[in-house]
Amino acid sequence: MTSRLKTLGLFSAAALLLASGGAHAQALSAADAAVLAGPCANCHGTDGKSNGKIPPLAGRPAATLAAMMKAFKGETPPPGTTIMNRLSKGYTDEQIEALAKHFAEKK
Ligand code: HEC
């Protein structure tokens, strides 16, 4: 019952976001992005607000986040990369764009 209500809430929040999204067609919904972003919290903190050694993601420009993810995924990840090169390979470019938007919208 409670989880059903939660799910409904998530979907209506996503619908609102999409409705206010303007002309840009969203391939992945905000709800999809939130699900994809779940595991990132293990290292980057809840909603990407880390306060440890791992860089925060929250509130940073979506273009920056997406570019970094794509760099990790590429043939030559930035020097010093430890884990994001392996992790980022699990996401399509479309999912990366959705993740970047998700974290950019966190305050
Ligand atoms: C197992 C821990 C772990 C998980 C899970 C994880 N990250 Fe990371 N992330 C790191 C570490 C560590 C770095 C620093 C680069 C490196 O060593 O790979 C990093 C760096 C980044 C950066 C670059 C930030 C900067 O300022 O340089 C981005 C963007 C990023 N992660 C996005 C994500 C996203 C999106 C997810 C979820 C899909 C995610 N990460 C999941 C550990 C993790």
Q: Which residues line ligand 1 (CB under 6 A)?
A: 39-40, 42-44, 54-55, 57, 65, 68-69, 81-84, 87, 99
Tabulate helix, strand, coil % of the chain (nearest 5).
Answer: 60, 0, 40
Two structure tokens written together for 57: 């993601």
Q: Which domain holds residue 34?
A: 28-104
Do the domain assignments include residue 38? Answer: yes
Instruction: Look at residue 53 and tell me if it is in a domain.
Output: yes
Does residue 67 lie in a domain region?
Answer: yes
Domain annotation covers residue 52: yes
Please tell me the distance between residue 8's alpha carbon and the centre of ligand 1 in angstroms: 30
Task: Tell me the pLDDT of the chain (107 aa) as tens digits.
Answer: 555 656 555 555 555 455 544 445 557 999 999 999 999 999 999 999 998 899 999 999 999 999 999 999 999 999 999 999 999 999 999 999 999 999 999 98
CATH number at residue 98: 1.10.760.10
Residue 74: DSSP 8-state: S
d(CA 64, CA 58): 12
Residue 20 lies in a domain: no
Q: Which helix (H) or strand (E) holds 6?
A: helix 2-19
Task: Tell me, in angstroms, the distance from the centre of ligand 1 to residue 94's CA.
Answer: 17
pTM as predicted:
0.81
- Phi then psi dihedrals of residue 72, to 5 deg: -60, -40
Task: Classify each residue of 45-60 as buried b or exposed e, where b means 16 or more C-beta atoms within 10 Å of its C-beta.
Answer: bebbebeeeeebbbeb
Structural domain tally of the chain?
1
